[in-house]
């Protein structure tokens, strides 16, 4: 085992440190991102004149992220809908977080978090509000990841002779981040000015083989920045921990909301290399009453994304839930999923997915799916 681990460690170190720039070098006063993704699948089967299967599923994911020195906020919307013959179902989850930093030079913040959920069997929308405080900060470094992808293309095409200096890479990432600024100034014809600004930044280095990047270099920029034949996944780094009081505002079955809960939460994101991204979150809460820490709910999740190539991504995740009542046995739930995304064209992916779910003492549930995913932005 030791003989295997040593070369793996050398390979990982080479991947991580080959660049002149690392993800943590990217520190910007304002960081933002927006994602809207839709995918669906349909299954139909017939035996003679009898329809044995006629079901469909659709998923919608919307994320918006903003972070600056004085404040940060993010909204996540995950909606699932489907039908099995005549039966319809849906599940919509909305999570929103707002953080106001007390001092801009430090990472202490006041927190407000609003969550809502509704499913087809709910009698009402379940809503809760959390207020509290925490420490930490998140940065979206996708612009730097795109700069690294452009650099890889330019090196492969022998347009540059080696890795660009750190300050040049940071400069390119800042120009990529300023796309909207170029559009506001130049309108629909902004792209040539955008590419020219990136080229001028590259010229500051001494690794350019010719006087300019040429038409091939501009083409590589377009491929990366416009998502032509490839797509760069979102890259985040940072962490935060928070504590607060959760106030249930409504319940799914219109029952009494109960007492407030003490909550503890931690999040962590980091790209292990320029081809990977890990995200982790854990949260626990317990009622502030006579069953304090006798009744506990725990939620945890872990995501791993690996770009096998410019067109193929491996995406996996694990979710864990535990509900421990004050009286009786605890109930746990495990969900493991993995999928391959193959980039077809124009932000369209072919997806092949599989999942396993185990809840309490129930038999495990295995599912597979082949579908089409469309990334609107």
What's the token pair of residue 164? 């660009």
Single out the residue of 126, 102, 138 nearest to residue 257, CA to CA. Answer: 126
Single out the residue of 265, 263, 297, 269 nearest to residue 282, CA to CA. Answer: 265
Name which of 35-44, 101-110, 317-326, 332-341 the model is least confident about.
35-44
pLDDT at 351: 93
Q: What is the mean pLDDT of residues 311-338?
A: 95
pLDDT at 92: 97
CA trace torsion 164, 166, 167, 170 (10° rounding): 90
* Per-residue pLDDT band at 183 (split at 50, 70, 90): very high
Percentage above 70 pLDDT, the chain: 95
pLDDT at 12: 43
Rounded Cα distance, 173 and 102, in Å: 28
Q: Is the pLDDT of residue 8 over 70?
A: no
Single out the residue of 202, 231, 200, 177 nearest to residue 377, CA to CA. Answer: 231
Radius of gyration over every alpha carbon of the chain, rounded to an integer in angstroms: 24
94 in Cβ contact with 115 (< 8 Å):
yes
pTM of structure? 0.84
- Containing H/E element for 144? helix 142-156
Q: Hey, what long-range contacts does 44-51 have (CB within 8 A, 24 or more apart)?
A: 51/85
pLDDT at 18: 60
Question: pLDDT by residue (tens digit) across 53-78?
Answer: 788 889 999 999 999 989 999 999 99
Q: Is the pLDDT of residue 81 over 90?
A: yes
Mean pLDDT of the chain: 90
Q: Residue 148 contacts by C-beta under 8 Å, 6 or more apart in sequence?
A: 19, 21, 169, 274
Rounded Cα distance, 306 and 238, in Å: 19
* Per-residue pLDDT band at 11 (split at 50, 70, 90): very low
pLDDT at 283: 96
Question: Would the CA dihedral through 168, 173, 176, 182 be positive or negative?
Answer: negative
Q: Is the pLDDT of residue 122 over 60?
A: yes
Q: Is the pLDDT of residue 82 over 80?
A: yes
Question: pLDDT by residue (tens digit) across 210-257?
Answer: 989 999 999 999 999 998 888 898 899 999 999 999 999 999 999 999
Q: How far is CA 151 from the centre of its chain?
A: 24
Identify the residue whose tokens are 């650099």.
151
pLDDT at 322: 96
Name which of 3-12, 75-84, 126-135, 255-264 the model is least confident about.
3-12
Single out the residue of 86, 100, 83 nearest to residue 42, CA to CA. Answer: 83
Rounded Cα distance, 366 and 197, in Å: 51
Q: How far is CA 117 from the centre of its chain?
A: 20
Rounded Cα distance, 201 and 197, in Å: 6
What's the token pair of residue 107? 């990472």
pLDDT at 4: 41
Single out the residue of 91, 93, 95, 94 nearest to residue 120, CA to CA. Answer: 91
């Amino acid at each position: 085992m030791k003989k295997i681990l040593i070369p793996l460690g050398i390979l990982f170190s080479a991947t991580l440190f080959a660049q002149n720039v690392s993800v943590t070098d990217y520190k910007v006063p304002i960081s933002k991102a927006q994602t809207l993704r839709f995918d669906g699948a349909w299954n139909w089967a017939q035996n003679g004149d009898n329809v044995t299967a006629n079901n469909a599923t659709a998923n919608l994911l919307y994320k918006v992220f903003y972070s600056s020195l004085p404040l940060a906020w993010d909204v996540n919307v995950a909606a699932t809908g489907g039908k099995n013959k005549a039966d319809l179902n849906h599940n919509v989850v909305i999570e929103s977080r707002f953080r106001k930093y007390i001092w801009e030079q430090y990472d202490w913040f006041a927190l407000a978090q609003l969550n809502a959920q509704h499913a087809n069997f709910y009698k009402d929308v379940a809503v809760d509000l959390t207020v509290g405080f925490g420490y930490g900060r998140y940065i979206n470094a996708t612009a730097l990841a795109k700069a690294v992808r452009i650099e890889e293309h330019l090196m492969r095409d022998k347009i540059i002779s080696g890795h660009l200096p750190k300050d040049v890479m940071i400069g390119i990432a800042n120009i990529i981040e300023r796309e909207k600024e170029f559009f506001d100034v130049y309108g629909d014809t902004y792209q040539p000015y955008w590419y020219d600004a990136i080229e001028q930044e590259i010229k500051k280095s001494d690794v350019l083989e010719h006087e300019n990047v040429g038409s091939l270099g501009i083409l590589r920029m377009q491929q990366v920045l416009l998502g032509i034949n490839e797509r760069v996944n979102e890259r985040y780094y940072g962490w935060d921990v928070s504590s607060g009081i959760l106030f249930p505002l409504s319940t799914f079955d219109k029952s009494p909301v109960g007492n407030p809960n003490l909550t503890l939460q931690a999040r962590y994101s980091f790209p292990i290399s320029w081809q990977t991204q890990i995200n982790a979150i854990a949260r626990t809460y317990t009622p502030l009453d006579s069953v304090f820490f006798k009744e506990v709910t725990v939620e945890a999740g872990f995501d791993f994304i690996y770009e096998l190539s410019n067109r193929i991504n491996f995406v996996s995740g694990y979710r864990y839930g535990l509900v421990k009542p004050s009286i009786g046995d605890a109930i746990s739930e495990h969900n493991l999923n993995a999928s391959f995304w193959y980039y077809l064209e124009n932000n369209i992916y072919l997806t092949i997915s599989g999942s396993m779910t185990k809840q309490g003492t129930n038999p495990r549930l295995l599912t597979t799916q082949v579908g089409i995913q469309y990334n609107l932005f």
